[in-house]
Structure 1
Amino acid sequence: MTLACVLLLAPPVRAGEPGDTIPAPAVPLLWESPGCGHQKLGSVEIELGERVSEITQDPNVPTVDYGRAMKLLADAGAAKGANAVVLRWHQGVYFTRSGRQSRRPVYVKLRGAAIRLPDIATGCTLQPVQRADLEARSRSGVAANVTSREAFAGE
């Protein structure tokens, strides 16, 4: 049994899909910091899912829903007074047992920068993160066979 860890930092290439079932968070997640003036409120981070290891026996480890992970990160930003969160880092860990990798990650860690945009943000172009984009990035990454210690060591 091995774990596959994917660290994704490249920009997305797909738009959101109409079948998204979890509503967009009230505080939007952004791919990049906006060019207009904004206040920086600090970083926010969430972890969702199960930290599997080499001794995990259950072949049906629950997978992570990206919509839920995004909402938790947005909620963490809102708790700091942010009206947007810039996604800075994403880690998806997939579980592999007997040569079969889970179709979705079993653990996701998201980190972002909580920001406050002015009420009138003229000339401010925002690039919102869509759930389908984040899922596509996770699936398109190059998997690396690593131990659980390496997968959850941080950055």
Structure 2
Amino acid sequence: MALVPIAPLHAGEVTTLKLVIAGASQGIVPVIWESPGCEHDKLGSVDITVGERVSEITQDPNVPTVEYGRAMAKLARAAGDRGANAVVLRWHQGVYFTFHGKKSRKPVFIRLRGAAIRLSSEAMAQCDLKPVTVADLEDRSRRGKPVNANARDVFAKD
């Protein structure tokens, strides 16, 4: 089993603020890279997982893979359920499964953690929010060096 190490988050490519405002006005909670500099309410953390937890004894070479888009949508819904209109991505983990030397092309398990926040409509329009895209997370996941890890370390409670 291989684990992609978690690198500190930093601003990725900046998408226009109009997309974030449009998404928020349609009830879609945007996932952003960093806490905004403008005033906002902190609503607590949200933590989601998608996929299958695998271990060293998993013998099925066809463990189903999962998509970052599905994970981000689940994180956004969890934040929205808390009353948030944005969620700051704080941490992510993508677990890939290796069976007889063959690594899965996509992760088999994804865990995302974020901070649910609420901004006023004025703050939403004035703040420079840097949205996270699915491509950003996929790229970050692919760039990391695989690390051999056992299931106890990968899925440990923190």
* TM class, shorter-length: 0.7 to 0.9
Instruction: Report runs of 4+ in structure 1 exceeding 4 Å deviation.
Output: 12-16
2:19 counterpart residue number: none
2:145 counterpart residue number: 142
Which one of the candidate residues 52, 61, 64 is aligned to 2:63? 61
Distance 1:92 1:154, change over 3 A: farther
Please say if residues 30 and 128 of structure 1, whose CA atoms lie closer than 8 Å, have aligned partners that are also in contact.
Answer: yes
Higher strand fraction (1 or 2): 1
Distance 1:132 1:12, change over 3 A: farther
Distance 1:12 1:140, change over 3 A: farther
In the alignment, structure 1 segments of 5+ residues that lack a partner are 17-23
Q: Secondary structure at the match of 2:87?
A: strand
Amino acid in structure 1 at the alignment position of 2:30 = P
Please say if residues 12 and 137 of structure 1, whose CA atoms lie closer than 8 Å, have aligned partners that are also in contact.
Answer: no
Which one of the candidate residues 30, 33, 39 is aligned to 1:31? 33
1:33-73 Cα shifts (integer Å, max 9, x gaps): 01111000000010110000111111111111111100000
Asked if residue 101 in structure 1 is aligned to residue 103 in structure 2, the reply is: yes
Please say if residues 64 and 106 of structure 1, whose CA atoms lie closer than 8 Å, have aligned partners that are also in contact.
Answer: yes
How far residue 10 of structure 1 moved from its aligned partner, in angstroms, is 3.5
2:156 counterpart residue number: 153
In the alignment, structure 2 segments of 5+ residues that lack a partner are 16-22
Question: How far apart in 2 are the matches of 1:12 and 1:58?
Answer: 37
Calculate percent identity across the aligned residue pairs. 60
Amino acid in structure 1 at the alignment position of 2:140 = R
RMSD: 1.8
- Of 117-126 and 44-53, more deviation after overlay is shown by 117-126
